[in-house]
Structure 1
Amino acid sequence: MALGPVAQIHISVTDLDRSVAFYRDVLGMSLQFVVPGQPMAFFASGDVRLYLGVPENPEFRTRTVHYYSVTDLDAEYARLQALGVEFLDEPHVVHRDDSGDLWMTFLEDPDGHKIALTQLKK
């Protein structure tokens, strides 16, 4: 069996309403739907669906790092700072090659999951 591209990523959260507000209102992601009566919400994230859920079994709680490419890292950094987001670092170069410079900065969601914002500057 050959594996295809990633279709969905699950992120365990502790407070669904708080996390939906963060991903929708702060990060600006497109909320697809919330499952009525279930602690689940789904967002469109490019070709991948992001699934936020509150796990019933604590053994299924995970910490993740997820990476999002943005078109203007400096502008997104400033926009999120203006909304009160605290970053773990400032935008900086993490890799250079013939295709350009890869810039990155990290922040955390309300449950402490690391989020990297990246931009390839040519």
Structure 2
Amino acid sequence: MGMDIRLAQCFIAVDDHDKALAFYRDVLGFQVRNDVAFEGMRWVTVAPPGQPDVEIVLEPPLADPMAPEADRRAMAELLAKGMLRGVIFATDDVDATFERIRAAGGEVLQEPIDQPYGVRDCAFRDPAGNMLRFNQPRKA
């Protein structure tokens, strides 16, 4: 008998929640599910409308109010380089998704291409520098 394990949340570090919201809510069309402030920090939960059981938490790069300043600087530098996290989203039409995000000013990392491992994909950076890939199964 198997266990029923499902993804509920994943975390993306952002340095400016308002810029992140403008991208995830206004460009990608995600719903804002929660917006919480705690000890001078902020967590915002967003999700695609068609996935009620999955949420993305937009969190501070270093969610520890007691962290040393050197650690805060190191995390900010990693975030600025796009080294902290990446997310892959599935879409029905990579080319249309690419055009919509590019038209909204998204930072293009890779235009849509057919990959040898069976998907067509593209990549962008979000306003904080995180890499986001969008893919669909490659058409035969």
The answer to whether TM tops 0.5 is: yes
Aligned to 1:22: 23
Shift of 1:11: 1.2
Identity of aligned residues (%): 29
Encode CA deviations 1:82-106: one digit per residue, 9 max, x unaligned. 111131111111135xxxx411111
Q: Separation in 1 of the partners of 2:116 and 2:7?
A: 24
- For 2:86 and 2:37, how far apart are their aligned partners in 1? 27
Secondary structure at the residue paired with 2:122? Answer: strand
Which structure would you say has the larger Rg?
A: 2
Runs (5+) with no aligned partner, structure 2: none
Q: Displacement, 1:6?
A: 2.0
Say yes or no: does 1:43 pair with 2:46: yes
Q: Which residue of 1 aligns with 2:130?
A: 113
5 Å-filtered alignment, 1:1-122, equals 4-36=5-37, 38-45=41-48, 46=51, 47-54=53-60, 55=63, 56=65, 57=67, 58=72, 63-96=84-117, 101-122=118-139
**Normalization by structure 1: what TM-score?**
0.82
Give the Cα–Cα distance (whole angstroms) in 2 for the partners of residues 6 and 93 of structure 1.
27
Report the Cα distance in structure 1 between the residues aligned to 2:88 and 2:111, rounded to whole angstroms.
16
Aligned residue pair count: 117
With 66-75 and 51-60 compared, the bigger mean Cα shift is at 51-60
Q: How much is the aligned-residue C-alpha RMSD, in angstroms? A: 2.3
Q: CA deviation at 1:48?
A: 2.0
- Runs of 4+, deviation exceeding 6 Å: 59-62
Query: 2:45 and 2:116 mapped to 1: Cα distance?
Result: 32
